A = this chain, B = another copy of it.
Amino acid sequence: MSIKERMMSKSFSRRELIGTAGKMAAGAAIATAGGLSLPKMATAASAEYPWPYKKLDPEAVAERAYHRWYKDYCSMAVADGLIGTLQEKVGGPWKNFPLQTVRFAHGGVAGWGTLCGTMFGAATATSLVAGVEDGDHIINDVLYWYSITNLPTYTPAKPKLAQGPITTRADSPLCHVSVSTWMSKAGVEFFTPERKDRCARVAASVAQHTATLLNAWADDDYEPVHSSNMRTHNRPAQNNCLDCHGG
């Protein structure tokens, strides 16, 4: 039986999976630490796409995202921090982009807890700035960073709650895993001011980090960090196999 057949038939032992995950983690660490030997990527260029970029102030982007969260939640918060700022700062094609189109991703898409909505806002902005090919590498790195980082990382200048939240690492880019991990450790329920402040700060953190990567890209100083999960696992997958397959 292949790994995938056994995973699906649940005949994997926990020991086997730990071993497999350990090898995968080691592989990922090597790929991550050494950088990838990817050829320097050409910008996906066309007259119309991607759109012109001016480097952003990551802190200003983060603060804007934090406050926008309270109006439109996570995905649009990040989109407003990045795209909204570019609409004002660059104009041109940015002006016509309907920010509302990413709002549906709140709560991991209409509350389904799939990909953290912040990633959709970040990915949409990244795609518009860096194009299909470079954008894919940057998005891959944002998801990887989100998974391995104790979030939130950004402290607002004008927070809604003075007492900042504890930080947690999700080992996953999924909304459900990220927020449930935090809720459990913080000991608070979902529909609370504390959880809202936490998610708004996560949105701000993602916007800040994405702006930092896009600025590096604009300076021709960006190299992809994380390898392709799809190639590592021979299927689309996260790296937290045992969270669901740990039996």
Contacts and interface: CB of A to CB of B under 8 A. Distances in A.
Interface of A: 2-5, 7-10, 44, 48-49, 51, 93, 96, 98, 100-105, 107-115, 119-120, 123-124, 126-128, 131-132, 135-136, 139-140, 143, 173-177, 179-181, 183-185, 187, 189-191, 228-231, 234-238, 243-244, 246-247
Contacts of A139: 104, 109-110
Contacts of A98: 48-49, 51, 93, 128
Contacts of A174: 114
A238 B112 contact: yes
A127 B102 CA distance: 8
Given A93-B98, A111-B228, A179-B236, 14 more contacts: A3-B246, A48-B98, A49-B98, A104-B135, A104-B139, A110-B136, A110-B140, A113-B235, A114-B173, A114-B174, A120-B120, A179-B235, A190-B236, A243-B244
A101 to B, nearest CB: 5
Given A7-B184, A49-B98, A113 B246 contact: no
B143 A112 contact: yes
A92 B183 CA distance: 45
Q: How many monomers of this chain does the complex have?
A: 2
Given A100-B49, A100-B131, A123-B105, A113 B184 contact: no
Nearest to A93: B96
A237 B113 contact: yes
Contact of A113 (B2, B4, B189, B238): B238
Contact of A229 (B51, B113, B234): B113
A237 B100 contact: no
Nearest to A190: B235
| 6 cross-chain pairs, A with B, having the tightest CB-CB distances, nearest first | A111-B230, A8-B184, A113-B236, A114-B115, A107-B236, A244-B244
